[in-house]
Chains A and B, each alone.
Chain A
Amino acid sequence: MNVTQKISKPYRRKLDLANGRVDLSHGSGGRAMAQLIADIFHNALDNDWLRQGNDQAAFDAPSGRMVMSTDGYVVSPLFFPGGDIGSLAVHGTINDIAMAGARPLHLSASFIIEEGFALADLDRIAQSMGKASREAGVPVVTGDTKVVERGKADGVFITTAGVGVVPAGIELSGDRARPGDTVILSGTLGDHGIAVMSKRQNLEFETQILSDSAALHGLVADIVATAGPWLRAMRDPTRGGLAATLNELAYQSGVGFRIEEDAIPVKPEVAAACELLGLDPLYVANEGKLIAIVAPEGGAAALAAMKRHPLGCDAAIIGEAVADERRFVQMVTAFGGGRIVDWLSGEQLPRIC
C-alpha cells in the first residue's frame, strides 16, 4: 500500500499582502522565510539565477577590469515623490559602478526588515526594485533577508552590491583631475534631497518636486563612447551634494576647482524650497546626476554627448580644475564676489539615501 497517497498536500496559507505584517518567523530560516522570499522577492525580481534557489549566483566573468561597489540605503521616508527605497537601492549602486566608466552586470540585495513592517509596503518596494532593475537591464541575482525585533530598525534597510566591467582603454579615478580640466554637471541640483525633505516636512509646493533617482549607466556609456580617452573622473553627487563631491575630487587629485554659480542649473521650485528650508542647493543630495572631469580638449564632446541623452539634457560646464595646493573649491557667486564652497560640516539632512 502506498501510504504517501493518503497524506494530503499541506495547506499553504498565502501571504496576506493586503493586511499582513512581517514577523520574526519571516527571518528564521524556516518555511515562512522561504515563502516570503518566493512570494515577494522572487516574484518581483524574477530571473534565472534567483530561480535556481542557490545561496549565491554563478556567472561567467567577462574579460577586462571588473569593478565592484556596495551601498546601504536607510532613506526616511521609504516612499518619496519620484521614487522609493527600492528603486533608490538599484539606481544608487548601478551609478556607483557606472562612475568608473563601467557597464554594470549584476546586483545583490540584502534586506534588514523590522518586525511589524507591512507586507504590502515590502511588496511595493520589491516590485519597484524589480521594475528599476529590468529597466536598467541589471538583474538582482542573489540576496538575503533578515528580520529584527520591533524598534531595532526603521521599517526596512536595504544593502545592494554590484559588479561591472570597464571597457578597454578607459581608466577613471578621482585622483586624475589636472589643472585646466573641464567640470561638467549633467543636470539640475538638489531634486532628490528636496523631494525627500518636502515629504518629511509636509511642504506643499505649486509644482511637486520629484526625486531625480535614475540609473546613469546609459548616459555614462554615451559619454565614454564619445569622449572616453579624455575622461579623468566621474562621480555622482549624492550625500553632501556637488560641494562634497568636488571637495573629494580636489582632495584626491591635489587640485582646486573654480566654479561659477550662474552656470549651475537649479530648478526654480528647488531653489525656492531651499530658500524656505535654509538649505544651499550645492549641498543637497542628488540620485540621478553626475559630475564629469574631462581633459580640456574633450570638454565640448563630452558636453554634447550628455546633452543628447535624456538624463543629461540640462548638462552644463560649471567650471574648471585649477592649480591650488590648498585644494579649495572656489566659486564666483551670482552676485559677483568670491567664496569657498567648503565641505559640509555636521549633518544637513540626515537619512537622505
Chain B
Amino acid sequence: MKYVDEYRDGRLAGAIAERIAAEAARGRDYYFMEFCGGHTHAISRYGLEDLLPANIRMIHGPGCPVCVLPIGRIDHAIRLAERPEITLCTYGDLMRVPGPHGTSLLKAKAAGADIRMVYSTLDALRIAEAEPSREVVFFAIGFETTTPPTALAIRIADKKRLKNFSIFCNHVITPAAIASILDHPDVRTLGAIRIDGFIGPAHVSTVIGTQPYKFFAEEYEKPVVVAGFEPLDVMQAILMLVRQVNDGRHEVENEYIRAVTEEGNLKAQSEVAEVFELREAFEWRGLGIVPYSALRLREAFAQYDAERRFPVVTEPVRDNPACECGAILRGVKRPTECRLFGTACTPETPIGSCMVSAEGACAAHWTYGRFREDTAASVGQRAAS
C-alpha cells in the first residue's frame, strides 16, 4: 500500500535499530515517554521492543482519551443515557469502559437505554436530524485531534437550528497533561520516574503544531521529538532523542514533517477557539484535577451543552483501590506491576480503563506483548537472533 508500506519497512527498521544500538551510550539508560496511545499501540503492535537495545526503556504516557476519562464521567454519561428522552451517541471504545458498581454503557444499552455507536460526530448530527423527537447527545471525547470535528458539528447544528442536538463534552488538552506529568512530585522531587525525553503526539500536533512543546523543552530541559504513528516514525524519533540526550540538547524536533508544521492547522484552531473555552479544572484519571486542561462550550453555545441542559446527579466515584491505572498513566508503574493485570483485569472483563482502549498501555501489552513476561522462547527472541 503506497505511502503506508514505506513506513513499515522491516529492512529500514533494522538499519535504524543498528544506529540506535551503536549510538546509545553503554553504561547509561535512556527513559523516553511516548505520550500518545497511538505510539503505545504501534510499539506493541509491531514488536518494537524487540528491536531496541536493553538500555532504552519506553514509558507509556497518558495520551489515550478513553483511559484518562475518570469513572465519574462514565457514570455521568450512563445517567444521561438512562433518561428516556435521550439518545446517546458514542464511539465504540467507550461502550466497555467500566463505570461504578460494575456498570458500563454496554450494560446500560442492554438494559434498555438508547445508546448508539457512531463513527463520527456527523453521524450523531444525522441521527438528530432524522429523529427530531429524540434528544440526541454526542459523547464528545478526545485530545486536540477530535475537537475540531466537534466544533464543526456544533456550528452545523447552530446553522440548521437543531433543537435536539447537544454534546457531553470531555475534550482535553495535551500540553496541560504533559505539564502535569512533569510537575508531579514523582518526577520533580521524588525521582520515582525518570523521563529523558518525549515522543510528541502525531495527530494532535497536526492541529496544534510543534510550537506548544517549546515550553517543555526549555523550562523542563526535556527533548521532544514529534513523530508519526507508523513504526518507522517511532524508531526514527527514538534515534533523534538518543542523539539529543547524547549531545546535551533539549529541543523540539519534528520527525513528522509530512503532516506537522510549527504553527499547526490555524483554521482548525480558530474553529475550536470560537466554540470552546477552557475549563478551570478537569479531573483526569491518574493525574487528578489538572487546571485548565479541558474544554467546554462557550456561553453562546450553551444550548448544545448536555451538562447544562440535562442536569444529572452524580456522586464522586473512586477507582478500584487495586487498579493501578493512575500510576500506569503517569508512567510510574508498568502494566505488569498491577496485580489485577491479566488476572481479574483482561480486555474481556476490564477493571481499569487502560485495559479497554486499544491505545491503553495495559490492553496493548496484554494483546500483543504478554509473551515477553514468560520464560518460554518467544518469536521476538527468534526475530532478534
Contacts and interface: CB of A to CB of B under 8 A. Distances in A.
A49 to B, nearest CB: 42
Contact of B50 (A337, A340, A342): A337
B45 A339 contact: yes
A272 interface: yes
Contact of A336 (B13, B96, B346, B376): B13
Interface stretch (A88-96, A225-233, A322-330): A322-330
B380 A268 contact: no
B322 to A, nearest CB: 21
Residue from A268, A325, A339, A342 with most neighbouring chain B CB atoms (10 Å): A339
A336 B14 contact: yes
Given A324-B376, A332-B379, A345-B348, A340 B369 contact: yes
Given A325-B376, A328-B371, A340-B368, A275 B4 contact: yes
Contact of B48 (A201, A328, A337, A345): A337
A258 interface: yes
Contact of A337 (B47, B346, B348, B367): B47
Interface in A282-330: 324-326, 328, 330
Nearest to A324: B376
Given A330-B379, A342-B366, A336 B374 contact: no
Nearest to A344: B347
B47 A345 contact: no
B47 A336 contact: yes
Contacts of A56: none
Interface in B359-383: 366-371, 374, 376, 378-383
Nearest to A270: B1
B51 interface: yes
B147 interface: no
* Range for the number of chain B residues in contact with chain A: 35 or more
A271 interface: yes
Contacts of A18: none
Nearest to B95: A346
Contact of B370 (A268, A271, A331, A340): A340
A339 B41 CA distance: 11
A271 B3 CA distance: 13
Contacts of B368: 339-340, 342
Chain B interface, DSSP helix/strand/loop, else mixed: helix
* A201, A271, A346, most chain B CB atoms within 10 A: A346
Nearest to A201: B119
Interface string B101-133: 000000000000000000100000000000000
A61 interface: no
A335 B371 contact: no
In this complex, the member of A258, A324, A326, A330 whose beta carbon has the largest number of chain B beta carbons within 10 angstroms is: A330
Contact of A335 (B48, B92, B347, B381): B48
A334 interface: yes
Given A335-B231, A336-B14, A338-B371, A330 B378 contact: yes
Interface in B41-55: 44-51
A337 B374 contact: no
Interface string B329-360: 00000000000000000111000000000000
A235 to B, nearest CB: 22
Contact of B379 (A272, A331, A335): A331
Contacts of A275: 1, 4
B170 to A, nearest CB: 20
B366 A337 contact: no
Contacts of A333: 10, 45-47
Contacts of A271: 1
B359 to A, nearest CB: 11
Nearest to B231: A335
A191 to B, nearest CB: 16
Contact of B10 (A336, A340, A345): A336
Nearest to B7: A335
Contact of A338 (B95, B231, B374, B380): B380
B309 interface: no
B203 to A, nearest CB: 13
Given A330-B378, A345-B348, A335 B46 contact: yes
Given A326-B374, A326-B376, A339 B347 contact: no
Contacts of A332: 47, 379, 382-383
Nearest to B47: A337
Given A275-B1, A328-B371, A333-B45, A338 B378 contact: yes
A325 B14 CA distance: 31
Given A330-B371, A342-B368, A345-B347, A336 B51 contact: yes
A334 B8 contact: yes
A262 B322 CA distance: 41
A337 B49 contact: yes
B249 to A, nearest CB: 28
B44 A339 contact: yes
A80 to B, nearest CB: 19
Interface string A251-262: 000000010001
Interface string B63-97: 00000000000000000000000000000100110
Contacts of B380: 337-338
Contact of A346 (B347, B370, B378): B347
Contacts of A342: 347, 366-368
Contacts of B10: 262, 333-336
B352 to A, nearest CB: 15
A339 B379 CA distance: 8
Contacts of A262: 10
A272 to B, nearest CB: 5
A275 B5 CA distance: 11
Contacts of B382: 332, 338
Interface in A49-95: none
Contacts of B378: 330, 338
Nearest to A326: B374
A332 B367 CA distance: 14
A105 to B, nearest CB: 39
The 4 tightest CB contacts between A and B, nearest first, are A337-B47, A338-B380, A345-B347, A338-B379
8 contacts: A330-B379, A335-B10, A335-B47, A337-B48, A338-B381, A339-B47, A339-B369, A342-B368
Given A337-B49, A345-B367, 12 more contacts: A258-B379, A262-B10, A324-B376, A330-B378, A333-B46, A335-B231, A336-B47, A337-B48, A338-B371, A339-B369, A340-B369, A340-B371
